[in-house]
Amino acid sequence: MAKIDNFVPIGKRIRRARLDRKVTLDTMANETGLAKQVIKQIENGEKRPSVGTLLQISRVLQLDSDFLLKDPEADQEKRARAYTKRTDQYAYTPLTPDAKNKHLKAFRIVVEAGTRHEGVGFQHEGEEFVHVLEGQVKVQVGDHINELAAGDSLHFNSGIKHDLRNPSQKDAVLIVVVYVP
């Protein structure tokens, strides 16, 4: 596979990897739980995937998640701008950028005030740990809603459908650690 250029949008990287590996949209949908239309929107750059969605996609495509989460050789300023563009609801920065081919990934996430993830919720193999540094968030795991404020933490089975929202008037800053077997 050709070297991926810094300026190739994430959706195009996903599409290129999916086609290189001969993974159909049906297979991708069945393995990630995403609708085919959502996958097409991600690949076309119309929808920005969350970290959880990127982890699911990288698992299906048998890619190290850094291939999708990190801009190769980008300087810190470019990297910060790229991460801000990656999702519609939040900005994230990998805290474990050298953890290639590792099961544990940590992120600093800023969830904008008054936002929530769109779609059906997230679900991926493994475990997730959320610690709130600033602000307030609601983390729904299955049918249970956890209300977290600064200093609160939550550890849960990420194989259960989950969702994150910030209903407050202030941005929330989180540390999120994801373990994917």
Q: What is the pLDDT of residues 96-109, one digit of tens each?
A: 877 767 788 888 88
Side chain identity, residue 108 = R
Q: What is the pLDDT of residues 116-166, one digit of tens each?
A: 655 446 778 889 999 999 999 999 998 899 999 999 999 999 888 888 899
Contact between 94 and 36 (Cβ < 8 Å): no
The rounded distance, in Å, linking the Cα atoms of 92 and 44 is 21
Could you identify the residue written with the tokens 């991708």?
28
Q: Which CATH superfamily is domain 88-179 in?
A: Jelly Rolls (2.60.120.10)
